[in-house]
Amino acid sequence: MKLLDGIKLSNEIKIDIKRQVQALKKHDITPGLAVIIVGDDTASMTYVNMKSKACDTVGIYSIVHKMPANINEQKIIDTINMMNNNDNIDGILVQLPLPNNIDESKVIQAINPQKDVDGFHPFNIGSISLKLDGFIPATPYGVIKLLKQYKIELKGKNVCIVGASNIVGKPLMSLFLNEYATVQICHIYTKNLKQHTLNADILCVAVGKINLITSDMIKEDVIVVDIGINKNEQGKLVGDVDFDDVSKKCEYISPVPGGVGPMTIAMLLDNTIKSAKKRKKDE
Ligand code: NAD
């Protein structure tokens, strides 16, 4: 078993991004990211802080707009519009989930697709499914980058994705299809999950359920990408895959922490730089 090391690759990407930021600064462009967070969910705050810290490390300017959970939807949209019209802001992201009283899709659709560095706007989701240029959601983008770094062939492979959310599973399905893999996507109503996972050459899991995948559900020498993030009873971060059990049987596995998580942040920075570079072209 070999590890898909997301820390090593994300650090390499961040070094390269830092270089690109320095080059942009020579053209008087400081890439800027605006993050909007609504409510005081601890996990969301942690993610936002990690994103801001990563921006600082590479020299991207970042601003966090904190809003109370009871805020009116229009106020969030007004803030997004302000950022849409701010030439110093290249990327806008709204930390999800939003409180139940707020229409998530309406808020996401308020973001200018040219600044939608999370890639959740229908325009960008559509672009990736048509293999057109657009922002690729950071987590699925990170998964593909990680597999490519280890020179894992995707063409013609049987890929099974467990989890079909709009932000992870579905865009990941499009990305694998674009690489000519054969994709099966499973979700909570999938009957006999094991029958599908056993067929996989590459298994990606994004559910949010500890030990959902065990060694009896995979074939020998499979490549496992664990996207899930959970806290176990001891308060330790773990994925959706029973790591100790599955790692004995697979060829590669991404650890949690240290796999897809750091890649997600690196790809968000990459999207922000991509957006800032458009400013240079527009000069
Ligand atoms: P979500 O709740 O939006 O979607 C979960 C998906 O899993 C749904 O499609 C649901 O149908 C499916 N599902 C639920 N129970 C299932 C079961 N028993 N069998 C098969 N499918 C089942 O979640 P999400 O936002 O896509 O996140 C999924 C996981 O990935 C979470 O643990 C989240 O924390 C993690 N995540 C990690 C990163 C990262 O950077 N590593 C980024 C985003 C999400």
242 catalytic? Reply is no
279 pLDDT band, cuts 50/70/90, is: confident
Do 104 and 152 belong to one domain?
no
* Rounded distance from Cα 87 to ligand 1 centre (Å): 35
Residue 281 has pLDDT above 80, yes or no: no
Diameter of the chain measured on Cα atoms? 57
Please name the residue whose Cα sits nearest to atom 40 of ligand 1.
261
Pocket residue to mutate for ligand 1, from 173, 207, 268, most atoms within 8 A of Cβ: 207
Do 154 and 89 belong to one domain?
no
Cβ atoms of residues 50 and 263 within 8 Å: no
Residue 174 has pLDDT above 90, yes or no: yes
Residue 179 has pLDDT above 90, yes or no: yes
CATH code, domain with 157: 3.40.50.720
Pocket residue to mutate for ligand 1, from 47, 125, 165, most atoms within 8 A of Cβ: 165
* Rounded distance from Cα 163 to ligand 1 centre (Å): 5
Give a yes or no: residue 238 inside a domain. Answer: yes
Give a yes or no: residue 177 inside a domain. Answer: yes
Please name the residue whose Cα sits nearest to atom 24 of ligand 1.
165
Considering the candidates 118, 201, 240, 270, report the single residue annotated as catalytic: 118
Do 97 and 172 belong to one domain?
no
Do 95 and 145 belong to one domain?
no
Mean pLDDT of the residues in the chain: 97
Task: Report the pLDDT value the prediction gives residue 283, as an integer from 0 to 100.
Answer: 65
Do 150 and 233 belong to one domain?
yes
Do 89 and 174 belong to one domain?
no
Do 177 and 248 belong to one domain?
yes
Give a yes or no: residue 102 inside a domain. Answer: yes
Please tell me the total count of domains within the chain. 2
117 pLDDT band, cuts 50/70/90, is: very high
Do 168 and 78 belong to one domain?
no
Give a yes or no: residue 42 inside a domain. Answer: yes
Whole-number Å distance between alpha carbons of 44 and 58: 22
Do 108 and 143 belong to one domain?
no
Please name the residue whose Cα sits nearest to atom 1 of ligand 1.
165
The DSSP-derived string for 45-72 is: HHHHHHHHHHHHHHT-EEEEEEE-TT--
Give a yes or no: residue 283 inside a domain. Answer: no
| Residue owning tokens 């492979």 | 157
| Residue owning tokens 């462009």 | 29
Give a yes or no: residue 92 inside a domain. Answer: yes
Give a yes or no: residue 120 inside a domain. Answer: no
Q: What is the pLDDT of residues 5-57, one digit of tens each?
A: 999 999 999 999 999 999 999 999 999 999 999 999 999 999 999 999 999 99
Do 246 and 152 belong to one domain?
yes
3-state secondary structure of 183: strand
Do 178 and 86 belong to one domain?
no
CATH code, domain with 106: 3.40.50.10860
Do 232 and 195 belong to one domain?
yes
Give a yes or no: residue 59 inside a domain. Answer: yes
* Rounded distance from Cα 205 to ligand 1 centre (Å): 8
Cβ atoms of residues 200 and 219 within 8 Å: yes
User: Which residue range forms the structural domain that includes residue 92?
Assistant: 28-112
Considering the candidates 14, 51, 145, 249, report the single residue annotated as catalytic: 51
Percent residues over pLDDT 70 in the chain: 99
Task: Report the pLDDT value the prediction gives residue 82, as an integer from 0 to 100.
Answer: 98
151 catalytic? Reply is no
- State if pTM tops 0.85: yes
Whether cis (ω within 30° of 0) applies to the bond prior to 97 is yes
Average pLDDT over residues 80-97: 97
